[in-house]
């Protein structure tokens, strides 16, 4: 049986750990809010009514693809494209290709940044491996203008940072919804977590501190994982309604 991602791939290692995925989620929540095409997510009404649920949906789709057999992964990707096509039809216009690329680039960046924060530095070949997995997703979706290698991606990523991000009324509204859903303390923790993984450009636009008070805590958290009491920390910082989703993010043994 052929899988979409090889069993020994670093991508499976990254996406098998719930805490790493939470940082991917936190970073994406920041960058989603700044993207110039975020109005598309407002069109259906799902994003403003439940922004955290919408982001969990995006992350879960990605995780399903990473651990699926190749044809099953293609079915998930095709389903994603069909959903977006329906939205385009209802709105009477097309989502620009650069917007699809931006989301793909987010997943690449935050997969690497989050894993390096909590685990270890990736070498160039491993970063290339992460890129190629997500390029397979992008190519299946028919996204144009994708790079061929990691240096090419880095160049396009820098360009995207400058051209496609904007602090708008959508940004302010989304962060207001984050705060409403999380409450003051958890919202503060979200901001501190975002500071650890977002690119400099994102941090500047959102006025995030260049120093996160969570950085010293990361080492303590790693120690708690060794003692297998990290679940206590997650239970304290996560809203009750999302704890089942969080538990589902941990994959002790990669399926397939």
| Structural domain containing residue 239 | 10-249
Q: Is residue 150 part of a domain?
A: yes
pLDDT at 254: 39
Q: Is residue 4 part of a domain?
A: no
pLDDT at 208: 94
Rounded Cα gap, residues 245 and 247, in angstroms: 6
Q: Is residue 89 part of a domain?
A: yes
Using DSSP's 3-state secondary structure scheme, residue 95 falls into coil
Contact present, 111 and 24 (Cβ < 8 Å): yes
Q: Is residue 57 part of a domain?
A: yes
Q: Is residue 254 part of a domain?
A: no
pLDDT at 255: 41
Q: Is residue 3 part of a domain?
A: no
Q: Is residue 118 part of a domain?
A: yes
pLDDT at 251: 62
Instruction: Give per-10-residue mean pLDDT for the chain (256 aa).
Output: 91 88 89 89 68 74 88 92 85 87 94 94 97 95 94 96 95 91 87 94 94 78 58 60 64 46
Q: Is residue 5 part of a domain?
A: no
Beta-bridged to residue 35, according to DSSP, are: 165
Burial of 115 (0-12, 13-18, 19+ CB in 10 A): buried
Q: How many domains does the chain have?
A: 1
Rounded Cα gap, residues 60 and 54, in angstroms: 10
Q: Which two tokens stand for residue 227?
A: 């003692």
């Amino acid at each position: 049986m052929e899988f979409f991602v090889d069993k020994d791939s670093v991508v499976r290692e990254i996406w098998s750990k719930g805490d790493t995925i939470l940082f991917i989620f936190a970073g994406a929540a920041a960058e989603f809010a700044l993207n110039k095409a975020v109005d598309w997510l407002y069109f259906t009404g799902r994003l403003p009514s439940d922004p955290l649920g919408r982001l969990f949906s995006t992350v879960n789709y990605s995780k399903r693809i990473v651990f699926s057999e190749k044809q099953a992964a293609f079915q998930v990707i095709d389903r994603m494209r069909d959903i977006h096509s329906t939205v385009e039809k209802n709105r009477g216009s097309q989502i620009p290709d650069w917007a699809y690329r931006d989301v793909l680039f987010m997943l690449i960046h935050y997969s690497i940044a989050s894993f390096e924060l909590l685990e270890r530095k990736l070498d160039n070949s491993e970063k290339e491996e992460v890129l190629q997995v997500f390029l397979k997703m992008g190519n299946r979706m028919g996204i144009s203008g994708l790079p061929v290698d990691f240096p090419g991606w880095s160049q396009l990523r820098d360009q995207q940072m400058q051209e496609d991000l904007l602090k708008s009324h959508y940004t302010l509204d989304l962060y207001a919804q984050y705060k409403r859903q999380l409450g003051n303390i958890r919202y503060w923790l979200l901001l501190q977590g975002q500071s650890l993984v977002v690119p400099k450009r994102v941090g500047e636009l959102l006025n995030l501190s260049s120093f996160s008070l969570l950085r010293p805590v990361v080492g303590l958290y790693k120690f708690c994982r060794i003692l297998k009491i990290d679940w206590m920390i997650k239970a304290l910082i996560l809203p009750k309604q999302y704890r089942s989703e969080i538990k589902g993010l941990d994959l002790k043994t990669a399926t397939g």
